[in-house]
A and B are shown apart, each in its own frame.
Chain A
Amino acid sequence: LAPTYAAAGRVLAWSFRVGAGLLVTGLLLAIFRGEPLGHELDPLGEIVPSLLAGRAAGVVDLAILWLMASPVFAVVAVAAGFLRLGDRRYALLSLLVLAVLAASILLALVR
């Protein structure tokens, strides 16, 4: 199991680096353009147009959502690891956890 856990750790570390990179980019944009950050994350439907318009708040919102979702990528790595090992029981449990997380994320996206 050690390679599976190591893979999950690497996925988490890289996911955090991507999120932190996005966050720093958004902050630098906000500082240089003098754009204030909101006190609430925009709904997903508003984040995409904000990103396309190059607004700092859009980049910061995306970074925060990315960081919030990062553990999902680790669970995917764990599920893939169990499947590679042929351990159906724990692969199924991992997929069940993923289904619960997907339900939670869907709840947020349909607000």
Chain B
Amino acid sequence: MILQVTTAVGAIVGALVGVNADPRVVYLVFGLVLLYAAASMALPRSDRAPALGADPLRLGAAFRDPATATDVAYVPKRIGLGLGVSSGAGVLSGMLGVGGGVVMVPTMNLLMNVPVKAAVGTSTFMVGITSVATAFVFYANGFVDPTVVVPAVVGVFLGGQIGPRLTRRLRAQRLSLLFALILLYLGGSLVLRAFGITLPGQR
């Protein structure tokens, strides 16, 4: 909730900027963000939290990791830095119409020492809230297309049923690598599109 305040405010600012931006700039920014996310996902990341230390804001938490059958306790660090980066993530997600998870997961994991699985779970909850902040700005500008939303909702629903089951079975490192490859393809194709180049099979 602490990060969500600045992320949501940033997202509204980003959405207001995004509706007036040149599409090529949006493609380029989004593509570069995805390439950054791909690189950070491909790098090996530790799922072990560092020493707990002081917890004046009572932010500490714990969860059971089924992959390693261990309890993981952690206390998020560098809250001020996290707030700053999350407001930037909010601006970016608002500009690009994404939930900000591609920025928030590395932020929480690499900067705030939150274990990657907790970062993914927290980010999933935040993405929905950040999306509300931006979706209504895009709605106000007539950028929500029902003919696109309907099939997307069906796809997201089906994927949402399958994804968590696959996540439990796949090892985190393989999952990260698969995610990185998909982000690399998407990010690369968007950067190319910003310069007027489309890959085979794309419109």
With A and B bound together, what is the CA distance between A14 and B61 in angstroms?
27
Q: Which chain B residue has the least Cβ–Cβ distance from A12?
A: B128
Q: Please state if B139 and A100 are interface contacts (CB–CB under 8 Å).
A: no
Return the CB mask of B147-180 against A: 1 if under 8 Å, else 0: 1011001000100000000000000000000000
Contact partners of B12 in chain A: CB under 8 A:
100, 103-104, 107
Return the CB mask of A99-111 against B: 1 if under 8 Å, else 0: 0110111011101
The verdict on B142 contacting chain A, using a C-beta distance below 8 Å, is: yes
Q: Please state if B1 and A78 are interface contacts (CB–CB under 8 Å).
A: yes
Please give the number of chain A residues whose Cβ is less than 8 angstroms from any Cβ of chain B in the complex. Answer: 39
Smallest Cβ distance from B95 to chain A, in angstroms? Answer: 15
Question: Interface extent on B, as a size class?
Answer: 20 to 34
User: Given A39-B146, A64-B146, A68-B135, do A94 and B1 touch, yes or no (CB 8 Å)?
Assistant: yes
Query: DSSP majority for the B interface?
Result: helix
With A and B bound together, what is the CA distance between A103 and B157 in angstroms?
28
Return the CB mask of A72-111 against B: 1 if under 8 Å, else 0: 1011001000000000001001101100110111011101
Return the CB mask of A11-44 against B: 1 if under 8 Å, else 0: 0100010001001000100000000011111000
Q: Which of A23, A94, A108 is close to B136, meaning CB atoms less than 8 Å apart?
A: A108
User: Given A23-B150, A68-B136, do A40 and B8 touch, yes or no (CB 8 Å)?
Assistant: no
With A and B bound together, what is the CA distance between A68 and B141 in angstroms?
15
With A and B bound together, what is the CA distance between A57 and B180 in angstroms?
38
The verdict on B144 contacting chain A, using a C-beta distance below 8 Å, is: yes
Which 4 residue pairs of A and B lie closest in terms of their CB atoms, listed nearest first? A71-B128, A108-B136, A108-B140, A111-B140
Q: Which chain A residue has the least Cβ–Cβ distance from B11?
A: A104
18 extra A-B contacts, CB within 8 A, seeds A67-B153, A72-B132: A20-B153, A37-B147, A39-B147, A40-B144, A41-B139, A57-B146, A71-B128, A72-B129, A74-B128, A93-B4, A93-B5, A97-B5, A101-B132, A104-B136, A104-B137, A105-B136, A108-B137, A109-B140
